[in-house]
Each structure stands twice: as structure tokens, then as C-alpha cells.
Amino acid sequence: MIIEKVMVHGGDVLKFAGDSIFAEWAINEHGLVTIEECTAVAALCAASIAECCRDFPIFGGEKTAGFLNVHCSLGVGDVAAVHIGDDRLRREFLLLGDPIDQVGFVVSCC
């Protein structure tokens, strides 16, 4: 459901990291043309995800074992992406930049 929400709002999923995802709304010539527009659409998407996944039931056998709540945070700015490793052993996709630091700060302080 979350991936579908990102796609419907024009974003791209860049990476899965544990129980998190990183999604991007990039400035492009086919619609979103300012950083403010990208940020607004990303915020609308985050609100939509939080709404549809609020108190989402988790089932254990025949009864509800608990509820899942999703939290979203936004970072704004330039991102660099790089593959590290080789094709034989291990390869990692890293995201670097202020937006990653901003999201990490929000998660660690809340």
C-alpha cells in the first residue's frame, strides 16, 4: 500500500532500509519544477500514507495481535547516490546528503 501511494503521488522509491523506505520527488521537466512543489507533494503523500496505515491491524492466528502505526518524515535538498562494492560479493546502494541527515535527526530525537 505504501509503495502504491508513493507511485500515485509521482515519487520514486530509492531504497528499502530495514523497516523504512526512502522515496524521492525530483525536480523535472514533466511536472514538478520547484523544490517547493516537490516538498508539498511529498508532504501530501506522507499524510496519505499515515492516514491509510494508522492503526493497521496485525493478525496472529485468528485474532488481532496488535496495530501498526506508520511515521513519516521529510528531508529537503540535494541527494547523492552511489553503489559501493562489486558484482561478486556484495554491493550496497548508499544515499548521502542533507535530506538523509534531516530524516535521521527527526527519527533519533522523537
Per-residue pLDDT reduced to its tens digit, 42-82: 999 999 999 988 888 888 777 778 888 888 899 999 899 88
Percent of the chain with pLDDT over 90: 35
Task: Work out the mean pLDDT of the chain and round it to a whole number.
Answer: 86
Q: How far is CA 13 from CA 9, 26, 34, 61, 72, in A?
A: 11, 11, 20, 32, 14
Q: So what's the pLDDT on residue 31? A: 72
End-to-end CA, the chain: 25
3-state DSSP call for residue 83?
Answer: strand
* 27-36, 64-73, 100-109, range with the lowest pLDDT: 100-109
Mean local confidence (pLDDT), 23-48: 88
Query: How much is the pTM?
Result: 0.79
User: Average of pLDDT values for 74-91?
Assistant: 87
Secondary structure of residue 31 in the 3-state scheme: coil
Q: For the structural domain made of 2-109, what CATH number should be given?
A: 3.30.70.1230
Backbone angles phi, psi at 57, to 5 degrees: -70, 140
What is d(CA 101, CA 97) in angstroms, rounded to the nearest whole number?
7
